[in-house]
């Protein structure tokens, strides 16, 4: 079947620290991979995506590389800010229109 597993939180970091949120997946076929971010009280917003193996998605200083050999799509940022505090969801989409989301990882960045 199709599923996404991401590291459990909550994660608390100091400002300017390095961030990694792990995400691994199981999928039939060739999935597209996504990271969504949810700020408090809001809906999910697309952060970045990658549609094929070895693609790197990037946005707002965040990056993730689609690794087919390890079935992973880990989210990284070199220097987090307080404004990055949110819940981050890894997701995949296989052929068709159904998305599969991970359970979310809460990130809090303290000054």
Partner 1 sequence: NAGVTQTPKFRVLKTGQSMTLLCAQDMNHEYMYWYRQDPGMGLRLIHYSVGEGTTAKGEVPDGYNVSRLKKQNFLLGLESAAPSQTSVYFCASNLWAEDEQFFGPGTRLTVL
Binding site for partner 1 (CB under 8 A): 4, 32, 34, 36, 41-46, 49, 89, 93, 96-99, 101-104
To the nearest whole angstrom, how small is the minimum distance from the Cβ of residue 79 to partner 1? 26
Q: Which residues contact 42 (CB under 8 A, 6 or more apart)?
A: none
Nearer residue to partner 1 within complex by CB, 17 or 87: 87
Q: Which residues contact 24 (CB under 8 A, 6 or more apart)?
A: 4, 5, 6, 70, 71, 72, 73
Question: What is the spatial distance between Cα 58 and Cα 65, in angstroms, rounded to a whole number?
Answer: 9
To the nearest whole angstrom, how small is the minimum distance from the Cβ of residue 34 to partner 1? 7
Nearer residue to partner 1 within complex by CB, 43 or 111: 43
Nearer residue to partner 1 within complex by CB, 84 or 104: 104
Nearer residue to partner 1 within complex by CB, 67 or 93: 93
To the nearest whole angstrom, how small is the minimum distance from the Cβ of residue 6 to partner 1? 9
DSSP state of 51: -
* In the block, residue with structure tokens 């690794």: 67
């Amino acid at each position: 079947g199709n599923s996404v597993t991401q590291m459990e939180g909550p994660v608390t970091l100091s400002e300017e620290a390095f961030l990694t949120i792990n995400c691994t997946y199981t999928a039939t076929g060739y999935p597209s991979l996504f990271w969504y971010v949810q700020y408090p009280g809001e809906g999910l917003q697309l952060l970045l995506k990658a549609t094929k193996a070895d693609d790197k998605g990037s946005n707002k200083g965040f990056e993730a590389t689609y690794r087919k050999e390890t079935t992973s799509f880990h989210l990284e940022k070199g220097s987090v800010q307080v404004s990055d505090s949110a819940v981050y969801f890894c997701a995949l989409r296989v052929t068709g229109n159904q998305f599969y989301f991970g359970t979310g990882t809460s990130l809090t960045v303290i000054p």
